[in-house]
A and B are shown apart, each in its own frame.
Chain A
Amino acid sequence: MDDHFNVSITRDNLVDSIKLYNKGRRLLKQLEDIRCRPEVGITGTEAFAAAVAGTVMPREEYTMHLNDLLEGLSQSKNNVADGKKRLMTIGSISDDIDLIQLIEEDTKAVVVSENLCFGVRYEGNEIDETDDPVKALAEGYLGESTCPRMYGKYKDRLAILKEAIEQAGVEGVIMQNIRFCDLHGSENSLFERDLEAIGIPCLKLEREYGPLVEKGRVRMRVDAFLERIA
């Protein structure tokens, strides 16, 4: 990268960047904790939008806005979860904020937790700030088990989900994957088998990538799922 982009990536640059991104991760963890409370001050749509923004915005600016959002939420008396089913969304890559909006728009449900590639899954993957930065990054990205691409770690990922479900009082899990993502597609089936076995209702939703290209079909399936858990 140094050669190709004619830049100099120094140890200090890397350490600073790791610290900055870790700060964002910790803020996202705070956001997740807020969503776990019985009274939730932010919709799943808003929280997901905040998480997705982190994948495209300049990091310093993003961290500042995320900080502001959390300060506002700490003073908020709002409860968007009142009388609604508490849902979790998991699965493959999705930057489709409309999908979460569709789940929440009929006012029967609120998404209080998630484990998506572009969502707050990322906060669980904090990089060591004390080690050699390249080694720490390699260990962070290759040693963590949060993505099904890291084969042989299914039980670890199931344990993470179960913990999040318990903490957030989740009453149903919507598992989405983009068609042809076999990694999430097949792992979602294993999650479905094991979560249903302990009484957690699950909906498996395979879909095309894009801004709700299948809105009618997805809505019908989400409605049916909400009827099931009502």
Chain B
Amino acid sequence: MRPEIKEYNYDWMLWRILDPASRIADGSLKELDLAYRYVPYFKGVLDPLLREGLPGRLFLKMINTYFENLHTAHAKGKKIAITTFCFSPAICYALGVVPVTLEPLTALGGLMWKRGTFDYLDYACEMGFTETSCSSQRGALGAYLAGLGEEIDFLLCDTPGVCDTNANAFAFAAAFLDKPFYQLNYPQTLGDNKTDNYHLADYKEMIRFMEDQSGKKLDLDRLRQVLDEVDKQDELISDLEDMQRLIPNPLPPMYNLFNYVGRFLFAGMPEYTRLLKSMVDKAGENASAGRSGLRSGKEKRRLFLCYIDHYSLNWNFWQWLDDHGIAHMGSILSRGFRDNVCYTEDLEGSTYSVDTSNIDTMIDSIAQMNARLPMVRSIRGPYDQPNMWLDESLVMAKVFQADCIIYNGTPGCRNTWGMVKPFAKEIEKHGYPVHIMYSDAFDDRIESWEATRERLDEFFKIRGLL
């Protein structure tokens, strides 16, 4: 790793950028212009967020608060746990543990620096983690393996069997850092009693592990508080998804990112609720006026991403969508699967509910919610198993009236690459043009953004979409 990169911790550097950025957001336009003179390279990062108005500013503040919590955790007597985007951090907040969710932390590096997380991605390989592993964990993980992050106390994951590549990152890190590790195991089915009971028993065991590691007993009032907040958040997400069905879609493309980054870092916390509320208000204004969320105000096409977004510098991917009049109809990351959403009628057993009546219903609610996070809900069995990835993607495309579907992931993602071609062929049979992106969502060295953009242009042109 380059010596200058080792001078400061990765998470500290992110925080040091976001802290002033979140303050600048409150300033006047004149102050903002002046600030850009001193940080010209960050104009491309900050400007698209601020153009989103209040939701953009609240997003910045939420991420800043997250890093502040992370950096003050130990001083406040809290433990820090590495975890994954497939795992809801709500239980961490109920137990006073600060989650380090690797994938959004890797994405933030890619979005904010031209150098992305390249040095950390490579450092993880220097330490023996395979270069064929998934870059989504490897970027931020490289920093923590190098000791360039807050000290980690323990690790949690829930992807063994669903995505062994993901799970292996946590198992490797636990052995490398010699830290305690708990894995939730998921059967390949969802929604039947046997599976529900398995989830519940396994989750209870994980709570015991977390209590041991954090030195705190699960406080029922605190758990209820967190779940009440989740309940509000789910309601707001459901409102957003309802509005997303409208033509034109009143949600700006970046709302999808705001939605899932908030959920992966702050589920059950008021910061995320405030962000969602501002998004619902703004999208509601657009919807009332019959306005598209796109800057141009003109929706040309509606795109559903069957997997994840592309985290290149300056929000390039979302900007490209916006510039081309393409509405973002969500991805596997932005779907909630609460029992009040508009797309689960044809996906039997896919939803969860929140019941805070007593301790048993609360733990059951949070366990079932956790079992419906991205990947662990949709890709826990074969892609063409009923109600899994293929069925889900077709339902989403239909409900949100998508014109086309794009797959984007990472070369390390065997979980999807192993089946994406038959999956795409099946989708095409239903009349949806499909584009498979060969880039790495977290590593622009695999395919530059410029090359990725060319291929996107080509797809939309050749398939007669634009």
In the complex, the 4 A-B pairs of residues with the closest C-beta atoms, listed nearest first? A189-B128, A185-B130, A151-B171, A154-B175
| Contacts A180-B414, A186-B172 given; does A151 touch B129 at CB 8 Å | no
Q: Given the complex, which residues of A lie within 8 Å of B167, measured CB to CB?
A: 151
Tell me if B181 and A190 are in contact (CB < 8 A): no
Tell me if B132 and A180 are in contact (CB < 8 A): yes
* Count: A-B pairs, CB below 8 Å: 54
A192 to B133, alpha carbons, bound, how many Å?
18
A136 to B358, alpha carbons, bound, how many Å?
37
* Chain A 188-226 near chain B by CB (<8 Å), digits 1 or 0: 111011000000000000100000000000000000000
Q: Does B187 contact A (CB under 8 A)?
A: no
14 contacts between A and B (CB under 8 A): A151-B168, A152-B181, A152-B182, A152-B183, A154-B174, A154-B175, A180-B414, A182-B133, A185-B132, A186-B128, A186-B133, A187-B175, A189-B129, A190-B172
| Contacts A183-B164, A183-B168 given; does A152 touch B129 at CB 8 Å | no
* Chain B 146-175 near chain A by CB (<8 Å), digits 1 or 0: 000000000000001000110110111011
Tell me if A190 and B168 are in contact (CB < 8 A): no
A186 to B127, alpha carbons, bound, how many Å?
9
Q: Does B320 contact A (CB under 8 A)?
A: no
| Contacts A151-B167, A154-B171, A187-B172 given; does A182 touch B183 at CB 8 Å | no
Q: Given the complex, which residues of A lie within 8 Å of B412, measured CB to CB?
A: 182
Q: Given the complex, which residues of B lie within 8 Å of A154, measured CB to CB?
A: 171, 174-175
Chain B interfacial positions (CB closer than 8 Å to A): 127-130, 132-133, 160, 164-165, 167-168, 170-172, 174-176, 181-183, 412, 414
A189 to B165, alpha carbons, bound, how many Å?
16
How many A residues are at the interface, by size bracket? Answer: 10 to 19
Closest B residue to A185 by CB, please name it: B130
Q: Does A149 contact B (CB under 8 A)?
A: yes
Q: Given the complex, which residues of A lie within 8 Å of B128, measured CB to CB?
A: 186, 188-190, 192-193
Query: What is the minimal beta-carbon distance from A140 to any residue of chain B, in angstroms?
Result: 17
Query: What is the minimal beta-carbon distance from B105 to any residue of chain A, in angstroms?
Result: 20
Query: What is the minimal beta-carbon distance from A12 to any residue of chain B, in angstroms?
Result: 27
Closest A residue to B129 by CB, please name it: A186
Tell me if B175 and A182 are in contact (CB < 8 A): no
Q: Does A65 contact B (CB under 8 A)?
A: no
Query: What is the minimal beta-carbon distance from A69 to any residue of chain B, in angstroms?
Result: 35
A49 to B258, alpha carbons, bound, how many Å?
56
Q: Given the complex, which residues of B lie within 8 Å of A149, measured CB to CB?
A: 160, 164
Q: Does A84 contact B (CB under 8 A)?
A: no
Tell me if A186 and B183 are in contact (CB < 8 A): no
Tell me if B175 and A190 are in contact (CB < 8 A): yes
Q: Does A11 contact B (CB under 8 A)?
A: no
Q: Given the complex, which residues of A lie within 8 Å of B176, measured CB to CB?
A: 190
Query: What is the minimal beta-carbon distance from A193 to any residue of chain B, in angstroms?
Result: 7
Tell me if B164 and A152 are in contact (CB < 8 A): no
Closest A residue to B130 by CB, please name it: A185
A183 to B164, alpha carbons, bound, how many Å?
8
**Residue of A152, A155, A182 touching B130 (CB-CB under 8 A):** A182
